Amino acid sequence: MSKKLFAVLGVLIMVSMILSACATPTAAPTEAPVAPTEAPPPTDVPPPPEPKMIFGEVTDMGGVDDKSFNALAWKGVQDAAAEFGLDGKYLESTQQSDYAKNIQQFVDEKASLITTVGFLLGVDTATSAKANPDTKFAIVDYAFPDCWPGAVVGKDCGSDVELPNVVGLTFQTDEAAFLAGMLAAGTSKTGVVGTYGGMNLPTVSIFMKGLEAGVKYYNQLNGTDVKVLGWDTCKNDGVFTGNFSSTDDARKITESMAQEGADVFMGVGGPIGLGSAAFCKETGTCSYIGVDADWYETAPEYKETYLTSVLKKIDVAVFNAAKTVVDGTYKGGVANFALKDGGVDIAPLHDWESKVSAELMAQVQQAKADLISGAITVDGVLACP
């Protein structure tokens, strides 16, 4: 074969090899497709916090700082708010026309419990409770039914039947005032004790009745003749300022009774009694008995004048009412507090402890035990026909 032929064959072989290299290669097997992973579920958004339960207080005209029953009711609301994580609020009433609108404001706010304070709020509380049967109420110093023959419901009285959504918080303050009356009679140097009230309402006169009974019982035990000025239970009549705000009116009554010989006083009307306490401090001629709270603590500027105070534990009663709403045991009706359950009592004698004889204190303690057992009663001692 000629060299020329070998050259041609060589070229052909090279071309064949190049064409083989350029041929489309077999596709390599691909990996199995991976199924797309599911997107993670969205993070759960926490539900908004439950709104706090609202517990509201509607005050009487004495205001929330009256150092007496309005202030004690507010303390009960505050204690409940701290204990149960509630939202405690109050609305002050400066005139009687404020009662209904203040109650309605709490109804509009969907308050879980509305506490109204005092006898004068009875009709407006009942009216609102009837119109809003799903709203729970507590009323201090009052209870339903409250009507009498001939009374017009909604005008003269609140309801002629018990209301299932109102609990009346009532107190046997005559029992505690009985003990204060014994102390007053036993410490009086003149043999005359004076008392007066803001208005002639049952929740006011019950203190004066108890004081009168205590003085009378002291006389029975000791053969004395201590007199009481300012109240006569059998006549249901006494001395009143006509308001729950004027310390000047209270002072004038105190000065007048002092001229008649009184040297121990008890005013029943919230802050008005400060007028008497100021008179006693300035003159040094008398002592004073506080009401509702321990005045030695709530009005210490006159602490040296306080023989004792008649305690009405409104804060405990309001707290207990709030607790029943929280734990689901709330029910309407009446919750009455007396000496036997610690709902009423007298305060410590404080600065007067050394001035009261052991014999007198023993008589007072025995009378307390007898009132609790029923061996003596306020009405029995007074013996009104």
DSSP string over 266-278: EEESGGGGHHHHH
* Burial classification of residue 307, based on how many CB atoms lie within 10 Å of its CB (0-12 exposed, 13-18 middle, 19 or more buried): buried
291: left (phi over 0), alpha (psi -120 to 50) or beta: beta
Q: Where in the sequence is the domain holding 364, given as residue range(s)?
A: 174-311+349-382
127 and 147 both lie in a single domain:
yes
328: left (phi over 0), alpha (psi -120 to 50) or beta: left
- Within a domain: 29: no
Q: What is the mean pLDDT of the chain?
A: 90
Q: Which of 46-50, 169-173, 310-314, 329-333 has the lowest mean pLDDT?
A: 46-50
Q: What is the pLDDT of residues 79-117, one digit of tens each?
A: 999 999 999 999 999 999 999 999 999 999 999 999 999
- Within a domain: 64: yes
What is the Cα–Cα distance from 143 to 125, expressed in whole angstroms? Answer: 10
DSSP H or E run through 206:
helix 202-222
* Burial classification of residue 331, based on how many CB atoms lie within 10 Å of its CB (0-12 exposed, 13-18 middle, 19 or more buried): exposed
Q: Which one, of 50, 56, 116, 112, lies nearest residue 314 by Cα?
A: 116
What is the Cα–Cα distance from 98 to 114, expressed in whole angstroms? Answer: 15
- Within a domain: 36: no
157 and 178 both lie in a single domain:
no
Q: What is the pLDDT of residues 209-253, one digit of tens each?
A: 999 999 999 999 999 999 999 999 999 999 999 998 899 999 999
250 and 191 both lie in a single domain:
yes
Residue that is last in its domain, among 149, 171, 193: 171
Per the DSSP assignment, residues forming a β-bridge with 227 are 192
Residue that is last in its domain, among 171, 187, 222: 171
227 and 278 both lie in a single domain:
yes
- Within a domain: 197: yes
Per the DSSP assignment, residues forming a β-bridge with 309 are 290
- Within a domain: 264: yes
Residue 16: what pLDDT? 47
Q: Is 289:266 a contact under the CB 8 Å cutoff?
A: yes
Residue 5: what pLDDT? 39
- Within a domain: 144: yes
Q: What is the pLDDT of residues 144-173, one digit of tens each?
A: 999 999 999 999 999 999 999 999 999 999
**CA 79 to each of CA 56, 252, 267, 300, 319: distance values in angstroms, whole numbers, following the listed order:** 13, 37, 28, 22, 7
70 and 125 both lie in a single domain:
yes
Residue 316: what pLDDT? 93
150 and 191 both lie in a single domain:
no
272 and 131 both lie in a single domain:
no
286 and 228 both lie in a single domain:
yes
Q: How many domains are there within the chain?
A: 2
Residue that is last in its domain, among 139, 171, 203: 171
293 and 188 both lie in a single domain:
yes
- Within a domain: 58: yes
Phi and psi at 175, nearest 5°, equal: -65, -45
125 and 190 both lie in a single domain:
no
CATH for 120: 3.40.50.2300
Kindly give, in sequence order, each residue whose CB lies less than 8 Å from that of residue 148, ignoring residues fewer than 6 positions away: 156, 157
209 and 285 both lie in a single domain:
yes
What is the Cα–Cα distance from 313 to 324, expressed in whole angstroms? Answer: 17
Instruction: Tell me the two tokens of residue 28.
Output: 């390599």
213 and 302 both lie in a single domain:
yes
**CA 270 to each of CA 67, 87, 164, 353: distance values in angstroms, whole numbers, following the listed order:** 7, 26, 30, 24
**Tokens 């390599």 — which residue?**
28
**Amino acid found at 237:** D
Q: Which of 46-50, 217-221, 258-262, 299-303 has the lowest mean pLDDT?
A: 46-50
- Within a domain: 304: yes
